[in-house]
Amino acid sequence: MTLHLPTLLLGLTLASGVLASAVLAVAWGGRLHKGLSLWGLGLVVNGLSYPAFGLRDAGWLSLSILSTNALTALSLVIHTLALRAFQRGRCHTLPNWVVWLPAGLNMVAATLLLHDDRWRNVVVAGLQGVMAMVLLSQAWAPGLHGRRLTGRWVVIAGAALLCITLVLRTLFMLGASEWDAQFNVPTQVQVATYFAILAVLLLNSMGFVLMQMEHAVSQQHELASHDRLTGLYNRLALMELMDHHLALARRRRTPLALLMLDIDHFKVVNDQHGHLVGDEVLRQVAQRAQARLRGADLLARFGGEEFLALLPATTVEGAQAVAEGIRRAVGDLPMVVNGVSIPVTISIGVHAAIPTEGPTAAEAMISLSDQALYDAKHQGRNRVVVR
């Protein structure tokens, strides 16, 4: 069965329009702002490339060639920019010139080789293959740490399929038997290319939307388990993690240490400088304390100006040494907020032991570290007390 090319172009235009509408509806309805609106715009631009290709049936061959190449290249650029917007802040993103240069060369080649069908198709397919590789590079995101979730792998697969399609098209053009300036790409090759690109658009769009959803879930989890002001674990998350560490310490018969930290006279900071400055002091204290801990240690904002640190496999002596390091890190240099130096000290209560059995073991250890903190406050503050 022979497929009529105008019918195919109409179908592809409608399919691309429906896909673009769906993506933009998700972007606007869900208020996601990580490049999803850009991605929908790229689908709209790609959809316009199909009627632009059909202009050649109306006798506007040159306009059709130039507009089709411009719209195709622009859609690849926009999708790369959408991915870059999503990845910004997570990894190294591509500079603008890397994204736009192949598109510019694509238009130069289409213009200069306007009347040389074979070389134009070879060069343009090759340059669009390079653009697909740029898209793949941004989907892969070199420098991105942590696991790559499902959506990203779907986009990687789609971008790889696009690269393969354009490379095969380039090789076909190079290997065609009759080498002259006037060469029409066989309809079968055009149809196969269009269907492959539509499959890529469907795959990449599903993957990109899934990336957005996974990111939203990750953000919700982050908000549920971390303190928004300091970025540390919150009290609930630490208590859940503590159960695991208690069980591990019992099984291995190793001590678990708790440090209860409290900023001295923090109310005075708020009263003299305001709560916004107080918030910045809290952040800086958290950063200095975190910097003195090991990678395996956990630090949480326990409430107000109190922090609780959990140190696995740490003796009383080791915990006391860490606590002294934190106390000096906070107290030796004043906090600087808006150019104002604010001296801050902390008191720390330390408790370390092999956890006992029972459902109240965590509460008992926290209570002992809290009592040690109370002793530190009672003895004059800016000190470490062990209990």
Residues carrying an active site annotation: 305
User: Taking a C-beta distance cutoff of 8 angstroms, is the pair 236, 296 a contact?
Assistant: no
Terminal-to-terminal C-alpha distance of the chain: 86
Look at strands 340-342 and 346-353 and give their pairing: unpaired
Q: Enumerate residues 6+ apart whose C-beta is below 8 A from 269.
A: 263, 277, 278, 281, 342, 344
User: Taking a C-beta distance cutoff of 8 angstroms, is the pair 313, 249 a contact?
Assistant: yes
Burial label, 7 (beta-carbon count in 10 A; 0-12, 13-18, 19+): exposed
Cα–Cα distance, 244 to 130 (Å, whole number): 49
Cα–Cα distance, 83 to 293 (Å, whole number): 35
Torsion of CA 337, 340, 345, 346, to 10 degrees: -20
Please give, one letter per residue, the 3-state secondary structure of 342-353: ECCCEEEEEEEE
The half-sphere exposure of 45 on its side-chain side, counting CA atoms within 13 A, is 18
Query: DSSP string spanning 200-248?
Result: HHHHHHHHHHHHHHHHHHHHHHHHHHB-TTT-SB-HHHHHHHHHHHHHH
The closest of 75, 74, 90 to 34, measured between CA atoms, is 90
Phi first, then psi, for residue 183 (nearest 5°) are -145, 120
Cα–Cα distance, 267 to 110 (Å, whole number): 69
Phi first, then psi, for residue 315 (nearest 5°) are -80, 175
